[in-house]
Amino acid sequence: GENLMVYDPGYMQTVCCTSRISYIDGDKGILEYRGYPIEELAEKSSFLEVAFLLINGELPTKMQFEKWEHKILHHTYLHTDISRMMKNFHYDAHPMGVLVSTMSAMSTFQPEQNPALLPGMDPYKDTLLMNKQIYRIMGRIITVAAYAYRNRIGRPFNEPAQELNYIENFLYMMDRLNEGNYKSHPKLVKALDVLFILHAEHELNCSTAAMRHLASSEVDVYTCIAGAAAALYGRKHGGANEAVLRMLEEIGSVSNIPSFLEKVKAGKGRLMGFGHRVYKNYDPRAIIVRKIADDVFSVCGKEPLIDIAMELEKIALTDKYFIDRKLYPNVDFYTGVIYKSMGFPTDMFPVLFTIPRVAGWLAHWKEFHADPENKIVRPRQNYIGKRTRDYIPTDKRQ
Ligand code: SDX
């Protein structure tokens, strides 16, 4: 028979890296950023402050935060050639495809992708240069995201407005939620700020693992971000909240839930927004997201799909199939309904996940390069294919 190597499943669970950025206890449903519980940060902090915490390891002093915010808001403009390039995408190009391509193209505008242009400076060791790259990417990602949306709806690009804060600026450039005037509703700005905090970092998820792989090859950080965003684009990852909304629309009414769940339990499709590789308990982020829904509905009106989502959750949490497999709502289960109520189109949902996760990816990029012991990531495989055999001439093959 085949020379099948039996491998130790434990091998497959080897830890890929050590990190100080975020901690998850999947059984207890705990998530901490640099030791601070996600519940406290969601209630008391802001996304830009959390981004500082993730990337620099400590909460900023007032002066540190003012400098951080100023530097980031100072880097929201895109090179005109990049803006022009973005206008050349087909009108119905998926905004995530535009974002991934644009972040990669951005590397060709920066000297970091060609160290020869930086004599005597190392873009992976020189702190000043690394921070400059971090400010640039944190600033520009909201502009790239907004322009990908504006291209999608065939509208001109809104240049960043310097007087607005980070979230207000993004919404202004989207021109989506500022009701035609200059500032968006404060409740919606707050809701998006908390949603960005919840999506900023999550240990070694698929896209962050991609980020660490790419960082280890010492390709420039813009290309690393493009690669990580490409991983997040997948429907089993960052595309899940878009898939949840399509699932709720397909179910259509509360009365169709039992038949839908029977199909799922028969292995015909998945309950999107449920289950998690690490959480075998309620995703702590999902609990906070559910509370945000009521605030948003008070401004934008209740999204009817929330009733189907809540009934689906209630039934699934008492169903043996889901209980036995420890399947609970994850961060994506309610976000799609909230974003729809706020007026975002579904193909912008993974983009709304990408913006905050850039902070987590940059934290891992900086952490990886800070450790001189880190080498290029090169995992080994479990080879279970055929071993050494003789070549067969064409006329002897059947
Ligand atoms: C995110 O890694 C991260 O941290 C990601 C993330 C982050 O912040 O970065 O948290 C963000 O990606 C959240 C997850 C979003 N994805 C979805 O909601 C898609 C639906 N979820 C599933 O595809 C699934 O739960 C995964 C991919 C999230 C995790 O799956 P696992 O841990 O690989 O589990 P599995 O696929 O091996 O399934 C185990 C069992 C199987 O049943 P059996 O074969 O044992 O009978 O559970 C079943 C699966 O069929 N199962 C589901 C299910 N998820 C798992 N059955 C129905 N619906 C589901 N959603």
pLDDT digit string (tens) for 97-116?
999 999 999 999 887 767 67
- Measured between alpha carbons, how far is 267 from 156 in angstroms, rounded to an integer? 45
Q: Are 198 and 286 in contact (CB under 8 A)?
A: no
Residue 187 Cα to ligand 1 middle (Å):
32
Q: Is 237 in the pocket of ligand 1 (CB under 6 A)?
A: yes
Asked if 325 and 275 count as a contact pair (C-beta separation under 8 A), the reply is yes
> Residue 139's closest CA among 113, 95, 107, 170?
170
**215: number of Cβ within 10 Å:** 25
- The CA distance from 226 to 221, in Å, is 9
CA of 134 to the centre of ligand 1 (A): 32
pLDDT the model gives residue 51: 98
Portion of the chain with pLDDT greater than 90, in percent: 80
Those residues with Cβ within 8 angstroms of residue 304's Cβ, 6 or more apart along the chain or in another chain: none
Q: What is the pLDDT of residue 175?
A: 82
Write down the pLDDT at residue 184.
84
From CA 133, how far away is CA 374, in angstroms rounded?
20
The response to whether residue 327 sits with its C-beta less than 6 Å from ligand 1 reads yes
Closest atom of ligand 1 to CA, residue 237: 12
- Can you tell me the distance from the alpha carbon of 398 to that of 391, in angstroms, rounded to the nearest whole number? 14
Q: Output the residue whose Cα is nearest ligand 1's atom 39.
A: 325
Nearest to 40 by CA among 203, 202, 198, 192: 198
- In this structure, of 18-22, 100-104, 112-116, 303-307, the range with the lowest mean pLDDT score is 112-116
- How far apart CA 361 and CA 207 sit, in angstroms, is 8
Q: Which tens digits make up the pLDDT trace of 130-168? A: 999 999 999 999 999 999 999 999 999 999 997 899 999
Q: Which residue has the higher pLDDT, 236 or 265?
A: 265
202 pocket-lining for ligand 1 (C-beta < 6 Å): yes
State the amino acid at position 377 in one-letter form: V
> Given ligand 1 and candidates 262, 274, 288, which is best to mutate, with the most ligand atoms within 8 Å of its CB?
274
What letter would DSSP give residue 231?
Answer: H
Return the CA Rg of the chain. Answer: 23
**pLDDT value of residue 236:** 84
pTM equals 0.92
Q: Per this entry, what is the length of the chain? A: 398
Which residue's C-alpha comes closest to atom 56 of ligand 1?
A: 270
Ligand 1 proximity of 274 Cβ (cutoff 6 Å): yes
Q: How far is CA 111 from its chain centroid?
A: 26
Minimal CA–CA distance to 103: which of 133, 130, 131, 123? 133
Catalytic positions? 276, 332
Instruction: Provide the pLDDT for residue 4.
Output: 33
272 lines ligand 1 (CB under 6 A): yes
Cα distance between residue 90 and residue 111, in whole Å: 29
Contacts with 152 (C-beta within 8 Å, 6 or more apart), sequence order: 91, 92, 93, 95, 98, 345, 347, 348
Closest to 261 (Cα-Cα) out of 337, 305, 330, 320: 320
Q: Residue 341 belongs to what H/E stretch?
A: helix 332-342
How many angstroms separate the alpha carbon of residue 274 from the centre of ligand 1? 7
Q: Separation of 214 CA from ligand 1 center, angstroms?
A: 25
Index of the ligand 1 atom closest to the CA of residue 270? 58
